[in-house]
Structure 1
Amino acid sequence: MDYLTQGIQYMQEQKYEEAAQAFTQAIEENPTEPLGYVNFGNLLLHMNDRERAERFFKKAIELNEDVATAHYGLGNVYYEQEKYDEAVEPFQKAIQKGLEESDAYYMLGLSLLYQEQFKFALAYLQRATELSPDDAEVHFQYGLCLAQVGMIDEAIQTFTKVLTLNDEHSDAHYNLGVSYLYKEDPELALKHFGLAIDIQPDHMLAANAKAKVEELLEQNQGE
């Protein structure tokens, strides 16, 4: 077993010191091979040593700028520091260099979403749902983005899909409630706010929305 494979196995077993030693040996044995730096960067990022992780990913890119996982790792360094504007370019490069995986599209989509660039985020999040059709959280973020660009019917369909994947997703119920308010259907909105609270009793947004809708319905009945 080579040092890289050994290091990855140690990481999976949460033996981080042993993983660091294996990756160090891999780099010493072949200092021009970028994957040693990429894997060490992933380990450092996992251990929240973002500054050193950034250096390792940049070193890997310096050795071979076509290594997609090095760009993806660098994007994660910036994303975890909430530097969403800086995260966009490396995530884009990871995809351009051939990382055709849901995570790459999802992280790029989120980086744009958190900068309120909803129309740009939409295509990447949609692609992420296509590559991860059974991932409730990916669909949920896509649903949020659809709602932000005013595609309420599509958002409702997506939040409903989230609940088929995870029927305990309180935020999906809450956002369905909000969506139905936009559709001027307070009864359905009330139902979903109630379900959100049933799942998560301390869901303050759902509780406040439910109280306001109940108050509104009482006023309408009194008129």
Structure 2
Amino acid sequence: MRLVSKRLVYNDERFHQLLLTFNPFRVGVLPSFEPTFFEQTGFLMTFLNISMSKDNFYERAQAFMDVNRYEEAGQLLAQAIATEPDEPLYRFQLARVLLQMENYPKAYECCMSAIHLDPEFAGAYFLSSLTLHHLLNFDGELRMAEEAARLDPENETFLVRLGEAQLQSGLIKKAGETADQVMYLDPGSVEAHKLIGDISLKLDNDKKAEKHYREALRHEPDDIALLNDLARAQVGQKKWREAIDTLHHVLCLDPSEKILQDNLYLIIHEWLNQQAVKKRRKTALEELPAPVRLFYLDSKKRRSFFTSTSRLTIIAFWLLVLTLLSLLFSSLVE
């Protein structure tokens, strides 16, 4: 049995975190400026003033984003673009805002505008890769991730994005090589552990997946998508009770998430079916913690006959229905 991933496409939950935490003020990400040009033309002070203005615009927009006021951030950045239409950073930042607002086509347009203004802007390629993922353009997602990593080959964020895009495209071996590269650059990288866990899960190496998910969880213990993936790895190893405990903990963190509810119900139901073979179903159910037992019984009542009944029972039911229909048809013919 394989549980449903918490992620809508490949890594939706983690993409959201990347957008919130990604810092473009790092080597190889921002558009580069050549100081000697300004020194030669006598505009060094002008350059410094513009830089301060850029920082101010960026920080004000970021302040709005930090409190989820994306419309205000977008309006501010639109003004900045009107003032300095050749500045790629504003278009990059506006793409981040639009991505948070789930306006993926417009976000992609902003990314491409930034790239047009500065073809070496690695951060814009990175962001366009995220955007194309949401647009389900996985070939384009991979191309953009490759370009970001080419422009800044030691940037952990870009390499992780490349590994995720490779995994999405089925390039599992390459994704593994990329993850190894991230681990080499930063042996304690949380994102590298997540990526290696994802690759291992894809290869049905559930034991290795669990190891790396646990390592990542040491740093991010309340990551819901990551905990759900840990439960998936535990199920792959038939660690039913551990998986039940893991998902119960996750559901306490986010009680309204239907995917988590479905996964927990499926695990308990499958485990109880296995216990029934040993004639321990009732005893096993009573051994579960009271909140988990009540959750299962309540969920079972809410589900239809077909989702709450074992496969063998459903097969027997349909055989009975077909037999009755056959007898009815025979009597009508006679």
Which category describes the TM-score, using the shorter chain as reference length?
0.7 to 0.9
Matched AA of 2:56: Q
Secondary structure class of the residue paired with 1:65: coil
Match of 2:327? none
Match of 2:175? 121
CA RMSD of aligned residues (A): 3.1
Match of 2:76? 18
Matched AA of 1:158: H
Match of 2:251? 200
Secondary structure class of the residue paired with 1:150: coil
Query: How far does residue 96 in structure 1 lie from its aligned partner after superposition?
Result: 0.3
Matched AA of 1:100: E
Q: Show structure 1 runs of 5+ residues with no match.
A: 182-187
1:174/1:40 Cα in 2 relative to 1: closer, same or farther (>3 Å)? closer
- Does structure 1 retain, via aligned residues, the 8 Å contact 2:61–2:77? yes
Question: 199, 213, 217: which is aligned to 2:271?
Answer: 213
1:98/1:18 Cα in 2 relative to 1: closer, same or farther (>3 Å)? same
Query: How far does residue 134 in structure 1 lie from its aligned partner after superposition?
Result: 5.9
Matched AA of 1:97: L
Secondary structure class of the residue paired with 1:54: helix
1:10-55 CA-to-partner distances (Å, cap 9, x unmatched) read 211214122321233122xxx3x54444344444444444334333
Query: How far does residue 83 in structure 1 lie from its aligned partner after superposition?
Result: 1.7
Among all aligned residue pairs of Structure 1 and Structure 2, give the percentage whose two residues are the same amino acid: 14
Match of 2:236? 179
Farther-moved stretch of structure 1 (48-57 vs 88-97): 48-57
Matched, 1:85 2:142: no
- Does structure 1 retain, via aligned residues, the 8 Å contact 2:228–2:250? no
Cα distance in 1 for partners of 2:242, 2:92 equals: 48
Match of 1:185? none
Query: How far does residue 91 in structure 1 lie from its aligned partner after superposition?
Result: 0.9
Query: How far does residue 90 in structure 1 lie from its aligned partner after superposition?
Result: 0.8
Q: Could you tell me the TM-score, scaled by structure 1's length?
A: 0.75
Cα distance in 2 for partners of 1:153, 1:50 equals: 36
Matched AA of 2:77: A
Question: 55, 59, 70: which is aligned to 1:5?
Answer: 55
Higher relative contact order (CA 8 A, sep 6+): 2
Query: How far does residue 209 in structure 1 lie from its aligned partner after superposition?
Result: 2.1
Cα distance in 2 for partners of 1:180, 1:51 equals: 41
- Does structure 1 retain, via aligned residues, the 8 Å contact 2:58–2:90? no
Q: Counterparts in 2 of 1:38-77, with a 5 A limit?
A: 38-77=92-131
Farther-moved stretch of structure 1 (115-124 vs 14-23): 115-124
Q: Show structure 2 runs of 5+ residues with no match.
A: 1-48, 65-71, 253-259, 281-334
Max radius of gyration: which structure?
2
Query: How far does residue 157 in structure 1 lie from its aligned partner after superposition?
Result: 1.0
Query: How far does residue 102 in structure 1 lie from its aligned partner after superposition?
Result: 3.1
Cα distance in 1 for partners of 2:153, 2:138 equals: 19
- Does structure 2 retain, via aligned residues, the 8 Å contact 1:194–1:206? no
Question: 149, 154, 162: which is aligned to 2:208?
Answer: 154
- Does structure 1 retain, via aligned residues, the 8 Å contact 2:182–2:189? no
1:210/1:126 Cα in 2 relative to 1: closer, same or farther (>3 Å)? farther
Q: Could you tell me the TM-score, scaled by structure 2's length?
A: 0.53
Cα distance in 1 for partners of 2:54, 2:99 equals: 17
Cα distance in 2 for partners of 1:159, 1:56 equals: 35
Matched residues, number = 211
Name segments (4+ residues, structure 1) moved above 6 Å. none
Match of 2:217? 163
1:209/1:45 Cα in 2 relative to 1: closer, same or farther (>3 Å)? closer
1:143/1:128 Cα in 2 relative to 1: closer, same or farther (>3 Å)? same
Match of 2:241? 190
Cα distance in 2 for partners of 1:171, 1:145 equals: 15
Query: How far does residue 5 in structure 1 lie from its aligned partner after superposition?
Result: 1.6
